[in-house]
Structure 1
Amino acid sequence: MGFTVENLAAIDDKLSQRHIDLDPAGYFIIYLDREAKLICAKHFTNAIDDRGLAVNPETGKVIPARGKVERTYTTIYSGRTAKELCVNIFEETKPCPLTMFDHAAYLGREFMRAEIALVTGQEYVQD
């Protein structure tokens, strides 16, 4: 496999299909506020059931991975760059709203993708 954009994208696409353990501290929905020129991340709490699925801590119902979910976020974080957003969430927020290193690495990657989309005008869709 050569070193091309397509081949690198294929590697990432395959890795996006792997199983991941969910963070019991919650999850983030990442989006761009293009008017304000910000990367934003809404944090939602969840609990993890005995099957490893994220559930609404108030109702115990499974939170679907796809589609519209009506839930109230706990906090909105924002930054002008991926680094600024990471510092805000991982260093300045006490206690930190996530508990797993792989979750932190995922967010860093996604914030970089969002920053590139913000700067270039490309569409951003969270992986």
Structure 2
Amino acid sequence: MTLLINLAGLLLMVGIVWWFWLSKSTTQSQNVSDQGTTIVVADGVYSPATLRAKAGETLTLHFDRRDPSPCAEQVVFHGLDVSEFLETGTITTVTLNNPPAGEYRFTCQMQMYQGRLIVS
């Protein structure tokens, strides 16, 4: 009986790792436009997950949160000291003022949703 419980727990852990980190390994990439770019927050991922932008420009990002999960309620831009709470069913605008060149991760507060902002 203990063996079955341990096996079930191990399978659950493998499933969680696969769902959040391995299942969506195809990277969608999008250039940030002058009018802004919409990022959909749903099913455990940001879509697109990779954003590209030019250094020295103000970036306008529109987050469309469709996932009611508590994990999806905040987006955090690591290295830029920017975070914003996202309301379910509405579009939240996040403005990044002239980020310097570099690669920045953006995640939920628990870092299960993962995205990258590449500024060059």
Which has a greater percent of strand? 2
Fold shared by both chains (TM-score > 0.5): no
Which has a greater percent of helix? 1
TM-score, reference length from structure 1: 0.29
